[in-house]
Structure 1
Amino acid sequence: AIYLKEFHREANENPLLYSSLDGKPHSLSTDSISLVLKTAANNARKTCSDVPGNVHCHLIRKTKAMDLYKNGVPLPFIMQLLGHESMSTTSGFYAFATLEMMSDAMKKATPSLKNEDKLWKKDEIKKALFSID
């Protein structure tokens, strides 16, 4: 919201991320956006070790989609938002979220169950799942 207020004061059709050339906005190249993102992630990592080592545009896209899903947005809506043609593409990536959500619901319903680490919560499994393109 702060970025939009500062760089998009008028609700116009400028690219979301742009550079100014001759006083006019121009779209950034994919390489430029990747460099800006990498620089921002490196700076953020200095104060927050949770920032992943290889931040890229697709990671942000998947993270936002996962956040929507975990907050109750139906998978078909996310599929449309991401532009997937097949539900299997979308559901393949978000299947482990369903397992985690089901596990959380089961814990709430039956608090006496052991608090064991689930397979999909292990770092090496998460890393494999998040690296799926």
Structure 2
Amino acid sequence: MLKEKGVQAIPIAYYYSFRHDQRPELFIKVGKRIEVNTETSRSELTHKLEQAVTTELDSIKSKLVSEDLSTFDVFMTGRKTLSEWLTWWKEKVRRCTRSVLLSNVFIVERLYEPVFVYEPS
């Protein structure tokens, strides 16, 4: 039994997931507060709190499985992963690839160096 009266507990569940990236994401869900009865035994209270946190954790997992992130707010973002940088560079190179016709030489040029030179006959 608890000695204090009017105690409230708030279940907080967190779940780390890599989803589609190399970088982990942390999902946090704060549940509704629970009024703790002073007549409840410790084992009953532990079981009740365990169920509340498990419910919140199951909620997070089901939203991630269905890819429904609409109820989550981004609190903080980290650096780009290596694959995100590679994707960014590929897109940048693709957009900057241009064809240039100079006299009789057709050059496909990218940002950093010519890829190939083709001289039409």
Name the TM-score, length of structure 1 as normaliser. Answer: 0.22
Judging by fraction of residues, say which structure has more strand: 2
Bigger relative contact order, structure 1 or 2, given CA contacts below 8 A and separation 6+? 2
**Higher radius of gyration, 1 or 2:** 2
